[in-house]
Structure 1
Amino acid sequence: MNLHTWWLFFSAVFILCGTPGPNMLHVLTRSVRVGARRALATMAGCLGAVLLVVAASAAGLSAVLTAAPALFEVIRYAGVAYLLYLGVKAWRGADGPVAARPGEGPAASRLTAPRLVRDGFLIGLSNPKLILFATAFFPQFIDGHAAQGPQFAILVATFAGAELFWYGIYAIGGQRLAVTLTRPGLKRLFDRITGGLFVGFGAALLGVRP
């Protein structure tokens, strides 16, 4: 892989990672509740799921899903159900009121580090589009005449770095946003918007095909 190929890959994934999606929205909402520092656990969960799916795709999971489309359908509908669940929960404001300072208050105290990691991991796994992305996008940047292992490792590390950068941006944005959400009306509007977005992501996932 030459520098030009890597730069094209980096430019593409940097834009794709920054585009709002379930992971970024989850990091944002968790940062509103617990602050950017504690949201690091959420980021770890999301990134862990992303790396697991990418590695599994490289190991042949995509071929298995192509050969057994029913398995992909199970994964897809499970992802849809989870995103819809999160949407309804966010819409209802199930995490409780936002504290005057992120990370304080009863809602934040219930969100322990293991729960933040778990929820982030489940969000990352809820989107089988990542499998299709890893299968269709990554191979375009692999030189078939060179060792593929090192190339794949570079691409995955680049992808993870772009994800983490945008996680940080969204987390900082969420922490700053929390200051204005102590007003009940704005908090309710925020819950409605984030809930609607999660439901929208779930509905969009219904149209995904292997």
Structure 2
Amino acid sequence: MTLQIWLAYLAAVFVISGTPGPNMLLAMTHGIHHGLGKTFGSTMLGLLAGLAVILSISLGGLGAVLLASSHAFEVIKYLGAAYLIYLGIKTWRAADSALETNGRPDADDAWARFRIGILVALSNPKAILFGVAFFPQFLDPGKPMAGQASLLLLSFVLIETGWMCVYAGGGAKLAVWLRQGGRMRWFNRASGGAFVGAGLLLGAFKR
């Protein structure tokens, strides 16, 4: 691809990745509860792994197959919506004492955060649509696909990582303020409501 096309792709991904959604909300929430270090070392790795799987599937052609099968797409959609709603209810009910920014790293907790990250990333079938409809616009069919696809994926991962650090880092800075009074309780409820809302919107989403 030409430099102009790649720069246009970077600009588009920068805006799309920075838009608040379940992935960024999870990064910010875990940044508040666990700090930037733990979020970067587990939650964000899970989110990026899930996104890499979805985009690789889309670029590999399986995404088009899933879109062609309305039943398969609906199953994935409703499973993803159900998980987001479950996560929202769990977040809503989280105790005020859930802050762990000063705690020691725990292997089990790190695995749990990684698992939540990858499940949230995989829960949104709209990413399949994104991969099938968006990425091919920047590929030159007259040139080798592997190099172009690798460049697009690497660029996407780097930009997505940067935005996740922004959200998680901002959340970590909010942690001190949220410790005061009953603010954490209200934040948990707001975050839980946002996850539930995302799940409901996903359930109502039509291709």
Q: TM-score, length-normalised on structure 2? A: 0.93
Shift of 1:110: 9.1
Match of 1:58 in 2: 59
Match of 2:199 in 1: 202
In 2, Cα distance between equivalents of 1:79 and 1:109:
27
Unaligned runs of 5+ in 1: none
Q: Which amino acid is 1:67 matched to?
A: A
Deviations 1:16-64 (A, max 9, x none): 1011111111111111111100111100000000000110111221222
Match of 1:173 in 2: 170
Shift of 1:109: 5.9
**Preserved CA contact (<8 Å) 1:98 1:182:** no
Unaligned runs of 5+ in 2: none
Residue 82 (1) aligns with residue 79 (2): no
Residue 133 (1) aligns with residue 130 (2): yes
Residue 25 (1) aligns with residue 22 (2): no
**Preserved CA contact (<8 Å) 2:64 2:132:** no
In 1, Cα distance between equivalents of 2:98 and 2:154:
35
In 2, Cα distance between equivalents of 1:109 and 1:152:
36
Q: Which amino acid is 1:86 matched to?
A: L
Deviations 1:108-147 (A, max 9, x none): 8696111111110101101111000000000111112211
**Preserved CA contact (<8 Å) 1:32 1:98:** no
In 2, Cα distance between equivalents of 1:201 and 1:146:
39
In 1, Cα distance between equivalents of 2:184 and 2:61:
44
In 1, Cα distance between equivalents of 2:94 and 2:180:
13
Shift of 1:171: 1.1
**Preserved CA contact (<8 Å) 1:98 1:181:** no
- SS of 1:47's equivalent? helix
Q: Which amino acid is 1:3 matched to?
A: L
In 1, Cα distance between equivalents of 2:101 and 2:68:
47
Match of 1:6 in 2: 6
Q: Which amino acid is 1:57 matched to?
A: S
Question: RMSD across aligned C-alpha pairs, in angstroms?
Answer: 1.8
In 1, Cα distance between equivalents of 2:180 and 2:60:
49
In 1, Cα distance between equivalents of 2:101 and 2:77:
33
In 2, Cα distance between equivalents of 1:110 and 1:177:
25
